[in-house]
């Protein structure tokens, strides 16, 4: 059995203090999470439930929906105080879904990056058409679309990304093992726009 809470505990014990745009600080009663831009603020409303993170992460500062949680648009103006690492883990699943587990699998050597061609190649239904995207279109799409995401891409068009993934350090790595559905949907738009 894996133990992601222990993995997270060890990271925090080693001085890990940041994941994406969330700063994590030890406090007398446990751990405090807030936007990295709000570290000095003393006027923030305090939340105390890990489930509050779900609602904090759902909309950006303008009230717009955040379908991609690793986009750099985490809202400001909140403070989340949690009693232990187990609840921090739950909160992080809302702020940065799957990122702790993906990094853990990567450390264990159990994360297999999937190239964009393989991801598109298994699509069916309305996304099957994405297989028609040209290499040139795909590279331009990835360069543009993925620029709005904090994750480090472990994949390329045809093969794994040769650039080594960032290690688990004071800033926790956000790793992308394969194209997300948002990018697949974007590929459909690219192909459809070419066809018309």
Residues near other proteins (CB under 8 A) are 1-5, 51, 54, 58-59, 65, 67-70, 93, 97-98, 100-102, 104-105, 110-111, 114, 122, 124-126, 177-178, 180-182, 185
Shortest separation between residue 12's beta carbon and other proteins, angstroms: 17
Report d(CA 43, CA 30) in Å as an integer.
20
Shortest separation between residue 108's beta carbon and other proteins, angstroms: 10
Residue 16 · residue 168 · CB < 8 Å: yes
Report d(CA 185, CA 84) in Å as an integer.
38
Q: Which residues touch 164 (CB under 8 Å, ≥6 apart)?
A: none
Q: Whose Cβ is closer to other proteins: residue 53's or residue 138's?
A: 53
Shortest separation between residue 136's beta carbon and other proteins, angstroms: 25
5-151-68-82 Cα dihedral, nearest 10 degrees: 30
Shortest separation between residue 188's beta carbon and other proteins, angstroms: 12
Shortest separation between residue 1's beta carbon and other proteins, angstroms: 6
Q: Whose Cβ is closer to other proteins: residue 156's or residue 178's?
A: 178
Q: Whose Cβ is closer to other proteins: residue 70's or residue 81's?
A: 70
Three-state SS at 32? strand
Burial tier of 147 (Cβ tally within 10 Å: 0-12, 13-18, 19+): exposed
- Smallest CA-to-CA distance from 81 within 52, 46, 55 is with 46
Q: Whose Cβ is closer to other proteins: residue 28's or residue 129's?
A: 129
Q: Whose Cβ is closer to other proteins: residue 39's or residue 57's?
A: 57
């Amino acid at each position: 059995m894996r133990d992601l809470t222990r993995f997270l505990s060890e990271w925090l014990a080693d001085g890990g203090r940041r994941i994406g745009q969330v700063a994590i600080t030890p406090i007398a009663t446990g751990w405090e999470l807030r936007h990295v831009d709000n570290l000095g603020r003393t006027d923030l409303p305090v939340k105390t439930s890990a489930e509050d993170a779900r609602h904090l992460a759902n909309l950006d500062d303008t009230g717009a929906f955040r379908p991609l949680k690793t986009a750099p648009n985490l809202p400001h103006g909140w403070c989340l105080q949690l009693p232990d690492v187990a609840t921090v883990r739950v909160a992080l699943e809302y702020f940065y879904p799957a990122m702790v587990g993906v990094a853990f699998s990567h450390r264990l050597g159990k994360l297999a990056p999937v190239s964009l061609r393989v991801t598109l190649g298994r699509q069916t239904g309305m996304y099957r058409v994405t297989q028609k995207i040209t290499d040139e279109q795909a590279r331009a799409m990835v360069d543009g679309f993925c620029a709005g995401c904090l994750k480090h891409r472990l994949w390329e068009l045809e093969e794994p990304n040769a650039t080594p993934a960032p290690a688990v350090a004071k800033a926790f790595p956000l790793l992308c093992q394969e194209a997300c559905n948002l990018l697949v949907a974007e590929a459909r738009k690219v192909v459809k726009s070419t066809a018309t």
